[in-house]
Amino acid sequence: MGPGGPVINGTPAFVRSSLEASLQRLDVDYIDLYYIIRIDTKTPIEDTMEELKQLVEEGKIKYIGISEASPETIRRAHAIHPLTAVQIEWSLWTRDAEEEIFPFAGLFFYL
């Protein structure tokens, strides 16, 4: 969290520093599932995912998840490194995922 609320920053340097800070705070060697909670529209998702992929290869992250992303963003992210989890809003009031995300996600994930 920043002084004015959540920080949305998908730059490789910020992703790495955030992960390193989490490891230190939690006093662990790796994170099981690391989520991209909000999509940084100023940083290409490919740049963010390349850094996360590197962190997986270094053993600091086991799996990568993404939250509140469009089908196109999910597709582009998944092309860099397989996503393990996709978190989206789905309720009686918000049914868009049934048409936009579920058919697409079924190509990559078990629903």
Please report, as a single letter, which amino acid is at residue 43: T
Give CA–CA dist 64/66, Å, rounded.
Answer: 7
- Let me know if residue 110 belongs to a domain: no
Q: What is the pTM of this model?
A: 0.81
The answer to whether residue 6 sits within a structural domain is no
Q: pLDDT tens digits, residue range 31-68?
A: 999 999 889 999 999 999 999 999 999 999 999 999 88
Quick check: is 3 in a domain? no
The angle subtended at Cα 92 by Cα 88 and Cα 98, nearest 5°, is 50
**Whole domain around residue 44: which residue ranges?**
12-105
Q: How many domains does the chain have?
A: 1
